[in-house]
A and B are shown apart, each in its own frame.
Chain A
Amino acid sequence: MSSAQPSTEYEKYYVPESSSLAVRATIGLVLTVFGGGLVLNEMTFGGTHDTGGMAKYVMYVGLAIFIATLTYWFRTAIKENKAGMNSSQLSNSYVLGMFWFIFSEVMFFAAFFGALLYVRTLAGPWLAGEGDGGRMNFLLWEGFEYTWPPVITPQEVVGGALSQPIANNGEFVSQHTSMAFADAHHWYAWLPLWNTIILLTSSVTCEFAHRGLAKGDIKRFEAWLAVTVGLAIIFLFLQAAEYYEAYELFGLTLNSGIYGSTFFMLTGFHGFHVAMGMTMLLIQLIRSVRNKHLTPTDHFGFSASSWYWHFVDVVWVFLFIFVYII
């Protein structure tokens, strides 16, 4: 396999000569997490971990550097593309990069869904004394009965944090009303249903926008994209309303035991991803309206954002099924 000779036709693959972007982004990222770590330790452990409030400024400065660098990085990539430096092969690298990035995000959510399903099918019943796994129930959590959504935590069953037989790691107080449909007073007051409709619709409007762009109908593209972004904002607004409801009216918090833990982690990370996807789509809209950047044949930024959007939508469908319905 050692016979090698230059091929005749080849579109040069653009390799940027050198770049300070990575080092700048590193500085931003490291300051962010180091400052964030200080903030958390100050909050939880206090005492000698107190930085007098300085920690959060380290985090803010890091975050500012990080966001500024990423913004500049994307601008650079867009400029290079507009300057005609991207061969079709390089564009394909971007496509592969985005695809595998979304795959990694799928696996991140898989960890949390896995946790939810493990607790619901195995750990929960075992805690209540079922099967081989339940043989310690009478020693540790006597009287605990498992339901989903849980109505009481094992700790509450034995009389609270102080009478807990094994190490005490905080108070877990169950919510009095869950997010399940059974606890909703009226179907039309059940926010997750509305959020499902909104998000599914937004995937369709996103696809309309894509088709408009493919046909070269920029006006139609921008209109549908604006509708999609609008739906995303409504979704986030309703999600915020739901969190308010949970904390203020239902007693459902991060400290409500495993139901609150899984509920807020899954919906919270999903909401964060919706916000990211919304930002990505909004930037595509601005690029189109202001800079006329997107053309029927050259719109990777929009394509990538739309794939991301569909991914967020699919995650929600699973969330709706496993967190809210079943």
Chain B
Amino acid sequence: MGDHHHGPAKGLSRWLYTTNHKDIGTMYLWFSFAMFLLGGAFAMIIRAELFQPGMQLVEPGFFNQMTTLHGLIMVFGAIMPSFVGLANWLIPMMIGAPDMALPRMNNWSFWILPPAFLMLASTLLMEGGAPAFGWTFYAPLSTTYAPPSVTFFIFAIHILGVSSIMGSINIIATVMNMRAPGMSYMKMPLFVWTWLITAFLLVAVMPVLAGAVTMMLMDIHFGTSFFSAAGGGDPVLFQHIFWFFGHPEVYIIILPAFGVISQIIPAFSRKPLFGYASMVYATAAIAFLSFIVWAHHMYTVGMPLAGELFFMYATMLIAVPTGVKVFNWVTTMWRGAMTFETPMLFSIGFLVLFTIGGFTGLMLSIAPADFQYHDTYFVVAHFHYVMVAGAVFSMTAAIYFWLPKWTGRMYNETMGKVHFWVSFIGFNITFFPQHFVGLAGMPRRIPDYALQFADFNMMSSIGAFIYGASQLLFLYNVIAAITSGKRVTDEKIWDGAEGLEWTLPSPPPYHTFEVPPTIEEQPAH
């Protein structure tokens, strides 16, 4: 084996056989973007159908398949893998490691994803259609009344779980074991911290999801009665198990986004992150709380009052560490020498819109009020403010921020800013009106609606088309940057950016930090 200071292999085998964290990160990012476009296309179909009241374009059954696959693909195919891709690219470069701890397993974690999603998407062509029970796949809709394709849906979820668990074990081993000498835990960039905690959450809850779908599989094919009252089981049991996974899953999606924002805001404020230690503790507190709040998704299911109260108060507690984070970001910007390049615009967009999503979350956490909001478009608006304006905006910011470092080429700044403003406006036109129709009682996951919701829905649809189109601009900007963008030669592309990755050439060589750097004593972030 010896030393290998050469570059990557040629052709397809480079990507199939690679063990390089940068190659694997790139594959994750491109794959997740492809899934983002696919899930986005499904969203466009949903919004086209909802453009006017009455049945317009698709059959109700197909509409349900679209909402189901849109959710599954965005959560498991777009957002989660995109952050894993980011982790692959950045964690070794940020902590001064030669690669991920277990490089071959890293490759395997990626390569089982595309076939799993192919299998999931192929359910659209199967007899009885694709799963149509919503991305939360509640029993008995997903067991007794499910189409036969549910079997392949279950196995796809199993494979995604295996991929996530292996990816997370790799990240934990990398962060715990591969930090350069002197890189103590409390010196790690916050992105690394948030991913370490996210990886822990993933290892803890993906197996629970695997357990849930396994029980479904047994109920469907082997006559068990986990989710059937006739045999002494309980369909509500499914919801408890699902949300024991599902709520930490929400933080699995948003914590790496917090990490990204905590890297970008200091860079463009030209100030160290305010309250580094409190950010770490807040992240850990959110992760802990995520395990004891799951039933706030189920207030209307008929829980005992004590349960409603416990989960209500526990949920409200999350506002405290989340508030710590938001205030720290704002305080980081306070009296900073701020500039507003595209990554910063998306980060500030994140900050404003995520906070709105956080507040609507607080409204939803109030059990008696939730009886009004439950399963309405208010909930849809709430989680799109945290999923899209939260996770996707921060991911977009991350791409603009690190793309010049990865490729050695600059994207078009004007086009980036246009992308931001079109996204920002399109997003708000789409989802802000949904708060109103939701409060007025429009249920989610229904292809038709009452006439009084028509105007707001048309606005939503127009906004969605604008937001969707702006992502094509993003794709074009990224491809143009990679192929013909202006070359950047500085190690430090953004003058306020701090961290080991900015000590490397742009683009970094194929193998970096084969001998770890020594981190010298210096003031904290």
**Chain A interface (Cβ < 8 Å from any Cβ of B):** 1-7, 10, 12-23, 25-26, 29-30, 33-34, 36-37, 40-41, 43-45, 48-49, 73, 85, 89-90, 92-94, 96-97, 100-101, 103-105, 107-108, 110-112, 114-115, 118-119, 123-124, 126-127, 131-133, 140-141, 150, 153-155, 161, 164, 166-172, 253-262, 264-265
Contacts and interface: CB of A to CB of B under 8 A. Distances in A.
B241 A1 contact: no
24 contacts: A1-B187, A2-B502, A2-B503, A4-B517, A7-B180, A7-B517, A12-B514, A15-B99, A18-B18, A19-B107, A26-B115, A30-B159, A43-B221, A107-B205, A123-B237, A127-B232, A132-B305, A150-B232, A168-B230, A169-B228, A171-B223, A254-B223, A255-B224, A261-B226
A262 B511 CA distance: 50
Nearest to A8: B518
A153 B159 CA distance: 34
Interface of B: 1, 4, 9, 13-14, 16-20, 96-99, 101-105, 107-108, 110-112, 115-116, 119, 127, 140, 143-145, 148, 151-152, 154-155, 158-159, 162, 165, 168-170, 172-174, 176-178, 180-181, 187, 203-208, 210-212, 214-215, 217-226, 228-234, 236-237, 240-241, 244, 302, 304-305, 492, 498-500, 502-503, 511, 514-520, 522, 525
B119 A257 contact: no
A168 B234 CA distance: 14
Contact of A30 (B112, B219, B511): B112
B302 to A, nearest CB: 6
A1 B17 contact: no
B517 A118 contact: no
A96 B220 CA distance: 37
Interface of chain B: mostly helix, strand, loop or mixed: helix
Contacts of B214: 265
Most buried by B among A1, A44, A107, A170: A1
B218 A37 contact: no
B90 to A, nearest CB: 15
A5 B236 CA distance: 57
Nearest to A85: B1
Given A6-B515, A23-B107, A132-B302, 16 more contacts: A1-B187, A22-B108, A23-B111, A29-B162, A30-B159, A36-B155, A44-B221, A93-B102, A100-B169, A111-B210, A114-B244, A133-B302, A167-B140, A254-B222, A258-B232, A258-B233
B107 A96 contact: no
A12 B98 CA distance: 9
A254 B520 contact: no
A185 B145 CA distance: 42
A118 B234 CA distance: 9
Contacts of B240: 114, 118
Given A18-B13, A96-B176, A104-B207, A5 B140 contact: no
A168 B498 CA distance: 62
